[in-house]
Amino acid sequence: MTKQMRRYWIVTHFLYPLRKLPCLERISLFKLFGFEVSIDLSWVVLAFLIAWSLSVGLFPVRYEGLSPQTYLIMGIVGVTGLFFSIIFHEMSHSLVARRYGMAIQGITLFLFGGIAEMKKKPPNPKAEFMMAIAGPLSSIFLAVVFYALSLLTKNIGLSEAVYGVIGYLAWINSILAAFNLVPAFPLDGGRILRSILWSWKNNLRWATRIATEAGSGFGLFLLFLGIFHFLQGNFIGGMWLFFIGLFLRNSANLSYSQVLVRKVLKGEAVQRFMKLDPVTVSPATPLETLVEDFFYRHHFKLFPVVDQGGRLLGCVTIQQIKDIPREEWLHTTAGEIAIDSSSENSIDLQTDSMEALALMNRTGSSRLMVTEGNRLVGIISLKDMMKFFELKVELEP
């Protein structure tokens, strides 16, 4: 592997993973116990598919003789119950995590279910175990409650539509609990496994490697199982198994990579990586000159705008240039379109490198301005962090 290929691999697998989730676009729904609950557009598509499959597949087969309108209502109620079951599952994770001091950014439902987004790793094995086990236990609780309700509604003579939907919710929560208890990271069972191994050896990296190898192996199993079902004619089921396996395998590998990144970069201030003599732009620079002499010459996507006295005025990015019509480049200056320095594009000199990396990951920027007061002291780039990480991994495997 050439040096360039190795650097690209490190960026894509270690330093610039998928953004928070493999999502398209999030829609904030509501807040519950202080946690923001969001839904991704991919889950909306999934909800329609589930409601359709319930309405024309599962319910008509199990409960014959009902009207098409009844099956449609059953499908809608069923997918709504699944929606709240997943929120209940993730909310259980979040409440326990908060109990042990782990900040949760929010809960998001997306194509492959839901996730409670932790801002930092669990502080100890017990915290991770309790947080991980809370999800499956909550799903088991719901399964028992829905099963009891289905028996009750059936015994008192309510319609098949009522106890049919409730029975489906009991069944789907049982499946959710069983699947999440598989000891394959990043599933809840994989986190339980990691917490036990972590407690045993007191080595998070080793425990994560074992748990993620199990996750990668389980993902590979689902990939082959999906291909088998596809070849047997079960196209939809095979496709879902294939994509779930692919998602689990990639997520497992990504999780171990993130542990390595934290180990290497944690405690390293951005001062260690930053460039002390960054290329800056005068506020009087016309956009035509800015494009030709700066963007095309230095190949950066962000340049600080600094006045003659050395005061930082903000920055210009390639996206801003794209928003200005080409014919106005000669008469528009960098100072006129500069974005003010903010927590979205700049960081303090003593900021931990992991915070810088998290900001890059959140904003999609590969360059941040390093400031001290209202003065620019340097530039931190993903490329510079990548070089340090590469050397550290090679010298201290």
| Average pLDDT over every residue of 267-296 | 85
Q: Is the pLDDT of residue 62 over 90?
A: no
For residues 318 and 353, state if they share a domain.
yes
Answer with the one of 265, 282, 308 that is the final residue of a domain: 265
Find the domain containing 307 and state its range. Answer: 270-395
328 occurs within a structural domain: yes
For residues 117 and 195, state if they share a domain.
yes
For residues 209 and 223, state if they share a domain.
yes
With both helix axes pointing from N to C terminus, report the angle between 68-99 and 125-155 in degrees, rounded to the nearest 10. Answer: 150
Pull the structure tokens for residue 22: 């493999």
Q: Is the pLDDT of residue 20 over 50?
A: no
12 occurs within a structural domain: no
Question: What share of the chain has pLDDT > 90, as a percent?
Answer: 8
How far is residue 143's CA from residue 249's CA, in Å, rounded to a whole number?
Answer: 28
Domain count for the chain: 2
For residues 36 and 176, state if they share a domain.
yes
How do beta strands 302-306 and 312-317 pair? antiparallel
44 occurs within a structural domain: yes
For residues 184 and 275, state if they share a domain.
no
Provide the pLDDT for residue 145.
94
210 occurs within a structural domain: yes
Per-residue model confidence as pLDDT tens digits over 86-99? 888 888 888 888 88
For residues 254 and 141, state if they share a domain.
yes
Provide the pLDDT for residue 263.
73
Most confident of 174-178, 273-277, 299-303: 174-178
Order of strands, edge to edge, in the sheet holding 26-32?
Answer: 26-32, 35-40, 104-110, 113-118
How far is residue 166's CA from residue 211's CA, in Å, rounded to a whole number?
Answer: 35
286 occurs within a structural domain: yes
For residues 96 and 109, state if they share a domain.
yes
For residues 322 and 213, state if they share a domain.
no
Q: Is the pLDDT of residue 265 over 50?
A: yes
Per-residue model confidence as pLDDT tens digits over 304-335? 888 887 788 888 888 888 888 888 888 888 88
| Average pLDDT over every residue of 103-109 | 71
Residue bearing the bigger pLDDT, 340 or 21: 340
Per-residue model confidence as pLDDT tens digits over 210-247? 888 888 888 889 888 888 888 888 777 777 788 888 88
CB hemisphere CA count around 287 (13 angstroms): 23
| Average pLDDT over every residue of 121-147 | 90
Residue bearing the bigger pLDDT, 55 or 357: 55
Q: Is the pLDDT of residue 14 over 70?
A: no
11 occurs within a structural domain: no
For residues 313 and 202, state if they share a domain.
no
Pull the structure tokens for residue 316: 């210009």
Answer with the one of 265, 298, 313 that is the final residue of a domain: 265
Per-residue model confidence as pLDDT tens digits over 118-128? 666 778 889 88
2 occurs within a structural domain: no
For residues 281 and 249, state if they share a domain.
no
Pull the structure tokens for residue 261: 């990144």
| Average pLDDT over every residue of 163-192 | 89
Provide the pLDDT for residue 113.
62
| pLDDT category of residue 41 using cuts at 50, 70 and 90 | confident
For residues 217 and 171, state if they share a domain.
yes
Provide the pLDDT for residue 44.
77
| pLDDT category of residue 196 using cuts at 50, 70 and 90 | very high
Q: How many residues does the chain have?
A: 397
For residues 280 and 346, state if they share a domain.
yes
Q: Is the pLDDT of residue 9 over 50?
A: no
Instruction: Give bridge partners of residue 27 from the DSSP assignment.
Output: 39
Answer with the one of 206, 231, 265 that is the final residue of a domain: 265
6 occurs within a structural domain: no
Q: Give residue 101's region: left, alpha or beta (phi > 0; psi -120 to 50).
A: left
| pLDDT category of residue 5 using cuts at 50, 70 and 90 | very low
pTM of the model: 0.69
